[in-house]
Amino acid sequence: MSDIKPSKVIYVGSIPYDQTEEQVLEIAKSVGPVVDLKLLFDKETGKSKGYAFVEYSDLESAQSAVRNLSRYNIGNRTLKCNFSNETTLLNGNNNNNNNVISGTITDSVLGDNRKKIRNNKFKQLQSQSQSQSQSQTIPPLPPGIELSNNAQQSASDVITTELNKLDRKRLLNLVKDAKKMSTMNPTLMKTLLKETPQLSYALVEAALLLGLTGSSQLQTLLVDDGKIDQLQQQKTKIENKNKNKNNNKNLEELTLEQRELIKEVINMSDDQVNILPDDKKSVILQLKALYGNNIV
């Protein structure tokens, strides 16, 4: 984690130059409530400098942002997040209340006007981005647990440890809830799983722990969508081929008498079939379906 002291303001670097402030805000908001955001632009060229400062309403959100946004992929870049080592944007106060001398004198007497202007600007940004993309976004994620006490443990190890603390009933509920969500809103669930690989990982591991799935089943899921489609098509093709083959083969193997009999049966009118007892009826219907077009 970061070696810089936690603060509500975080530095976000490696932002692709074509990203707008609204787009960055959307990403920042996925972690927690954002109070202010500033993407830096080059005054001369007007181009983005590729980094921004985001102020969260609380320290937990900022910590969560540093944890979760640091590996966020956007365009062909990976965001770099850290606590800002500068003073905050709006109120000029540093969060470390004791013995703060890091804010400049100007910051501490920052004019109300400037605060208002910045605040208004930000509100404008908020409403812009809200109207733009409210449809399929997920609400802010819970801040999560600080992992720094277990610095040696990898993220997946932590998930394993935590899951092993749960009893069977709770594990089952976890999987059940996920299943329910997938049925109720598949698109949203897809987004959620995509944006939180930790959750996807935990759910798969939970299913394994519960014996609901095996590693061989999981292997089949690791094939990409295109390949699955291809496999499916191939499978139906082969199945159809076999079906026809079997029908023809069976027909060839039948004696002339049997063929005549079947012909007779499938030529029965619906009325004739309907008066038969149910079990006979279903056999005839099956024969009709099977040989209907093949017998001559």
Binding site for DNA (CB under 7 A): 4, 9, 11, 13-17, 36, 38, 40, 43, 50-51, 53, 77, 80, 82, 84-89, 106-107, 109-111, 114
166: tokens are 């749960």
Asked if residue 284 lies in contact with residue 268, where contact means CB atoms within 8 angstroms, the answer is yes
Nearer of residues 16 and 290 to DNA, judged by Cβ: 16
Nearer of residues 51 and 201 to DNA, judged by Cβ: 51
Q: Greatest CA separation found in the chain?
A: 108
CB of 95 to DNA, least distance (A): 12
Q: In a 3-state reduction of DSSP, which class is residue 50?
A: strand
Q: Residue 128: left if φ>0, alpha if ψ -120 to 50, beta else—which one?
A: alpha
Q: Which of the 8 DSSP states describes residue 139?
A: P
- Give the number of other CB atoms < 10 A from CB of residue 239: 10
CB of 11 to DNA, least distance (A): 3
CB of 157 to DNA, least distance (A): 26
Radius of gyration, alpha carbons of the chain = 32
CB of 71 to DNA, least distance (A): 13
CB of 171 to DNA, least distance (A): 39
Nearer of residues 11 and 291 to DNA, judged by Cβ: 11
Nearer of residues 59 and 110 to DNA, judged by Cβ: 110
Q: List the one residue out of 155, 257, 251, 259 whose CA is nearest residue 202.
A: 155
Nearer of residues 66 and 178 to DNA, judged by Cβ: 66
Asked if residue 82 lies in contact with residue 66, where contact means CB atoms within 8 angstroms, the answer is yes
